[in-house]
Structure 1
Amino acid sequence: HTGAVKSPTFTLVEPYEIGDIRAYHFDLYRLVDPEELEFMGIRDYFDEDALCLIEWPQQGAGFLPKADLTITIRPHNTGRALTLSPQGSRGEAWCAAVALEYK
């Protein structure tokens, strides 16, 4: 994706198209009750071809599928450092692809 990334803090989800990939950026910080995800049709976003990135996933406990990959972002010098932790074979495949890309 090129350009600005809009924070979905108030809308809960912001869609993006990255080439052939449909990506959805969720920010669940302001979610009052995880059941609200059912009312917004959360299951419709999680099909096989979609990339769903979720900030504050603990706010949606019990209504979100198991993560394929956990990305931890922390300050590092003047930028940020990322730690990728695969949670299954799909996450492992993504980590392997990233490793090849940034070797």
Structure 2
Amino acid sequence: MSPDRIIEAFDEIFRYEKALPAIRLAGIEALHRLMPVAQGYSGQSGVIGRFLLGLYNGQEYPFDMTELRRLDAALFDDCISVLRLDNTTEREVHRYFENGDAIWEELRNRWV
């Protein structure tokens, strides 16, 4: 690897690390906006519920990404923010909620 490429790689890592607090904050806020939707009864509720279950355990609850096309723009953007949050691997998605295990059990009962 050339010295220039090494410098670029370190610069990219530095930019990402610097952006992490904003990524996490935006994702947590979006997650808390999405949860009431997932607990609702609309068509978009099902998409959001299954999306969150897929983040929780994609092996057990696979999610078809084309389902995101059914969401309005604001919900879609929130899903992308939550996906970015989940990519940081700070903690599992259900751990951002008090009683997260019980909340995700409710989602399983409703949307699986």
Fold match by TM threshold 0.5: no
Name whichever structure is richer in strand by fraction: 1
> Which structure is higher in RCO with an 8 Å CA cutoff and minimum separation 6?
2
Larger Rg: 2
TM-score in terms of structure 1 length:
0.28
TM-score in terms of structure 2 length:
0.27
